[in-house]
Amino acid sequence: MGVNAGYKDSVFSLLFSDPDTLRELYGALEGVTLDKKIPVTINTLSDVLYMERYNDISFTVGNKLVVLIEHQSSVNPNMPLRLLLYIARVYEKIIERKSLYRETPLKVPRPEFFVLYNGLKPYPDQATLRLSDAFERPEGLGGAGLPAELELIVKVYNINKGHNEGIVKKCAVLSGYSVFIDKIRENRQTMALEGAMKAAIGYCIEHNVLSEFLMERSSEVINMLLTEWNWDDAREVWQQEARAEGRMEGLTEGRAEGLTEGRMEDRREILDLLEKGYTVEQLKALLSSDNPA
């Protein structure tokens, strides 16, 4: 399987690609029950790309809320800024531009932002990320010491096994996804990655966990997960490379620096090597020999 640089979907976004599952997911996150009569309209951005990744989930609820949800295997402190850019594009998508010039106030759906974390590093059940934490301090300039006039708050929920079980249990698909990923990680202790995925699929089908979805789309799921896992491995290699070259700041996810054409070509080569079976340790050794500390 070759890595598709424009790969749009992930297993997570595919699972939550219809109004009913989104209604259940939002209800679990906010502790509410949404009537099925309340319309849910998907407006996920398929044309906004950061580090070869697309927006995971975006939808409106009853034309009164617009909800953006991102799934992360590593918490990115730049998510508020990233989601700020996303929400601007969403509003452009759902609001008629001419209406901005009316003399009467325009009502728009209120935004809510969530990150669902299922990475390996320890993380609390819940956390909050704020856009204002990224602002420079304007000492000696106007506005110093005043509250930020622009804010965006992201709620982060840890969905790993043993965390936020009250939320996870309220959404059958989210619960199934958590079990599935946890089973893959357990299998990886004794199996190669693809074998671990296939064994996890078999286990979940046997135990009626996402069984219908996995029976119908097992090959697609494996291809998506291989891409996602290879991405995570490649990111680790890029970070190792950046430390060796003293350019870690330029590789921070979600930022424009470091995304020159040459750098992107280097990264595609790393992904190609991962596809050919090179381990992260082998790639680190190659980088160390090419870029001695």
Statement: residue 28 has pLDDT above 90: yes
Report the mean per-residue pLDDT for the chain: 80
Read off the pLDDT band of 148 (50, 70, 90). confident
Domain that holds residue 131: 11-137+145-290
pTM, rounded to two decimals: 0.74
Q: How far is CA 153 from CA 70, 112, 190, 214, 291, in A?
A: 13, 8, 40, 34, 40
Q: What is the pLDDT of residue 144?
A: 61
Q: Choose the weakest-confidence range: 67-81, 195-209, 240-254.
A: 240-254
Least confident of 14-28, 41-55, 173-187, 249-263: 249-263
For residue 255, is it left (φ>0), alpha (ψ between -120 and 50) or beta?
beta
Give me the pLDDT at residue 137, please.
79
Distances from the Cα of 63 to the Cα of 45, 90, 91, 92, 208, angstroms: 17, 13, 12, 15, 35
The tokens describing 132, both together, are 């204002």
pLDDT tens by residue, 207-224? 999 999 999 999 999 988
- Would 3 be classed as within a structural domain? no
Residue-wise pLDDT tens digits, 91-111: 988 888 888 888 888 889 999
- Total domains, the chain: 1
How confident is the model over 259-284, as pLDDT tens digits? 444 455 566 666 666 655 566 666 66
Exposure letters 90-118 (e unless 16+ CB within 10 A, then b): beeeeeeeeeeeeeeeeeebebbbbbbbb
Confidence of residue 74 (pLDDT cuts 50, 70, 90): confident
15, 213 contact by CB (below 8 A): yes
In a domain? residue 4: no
Asked, for residue 225, whether it belongs to a domain, the answer is yes
Q: Residue 1 domain-assigned?
A: no
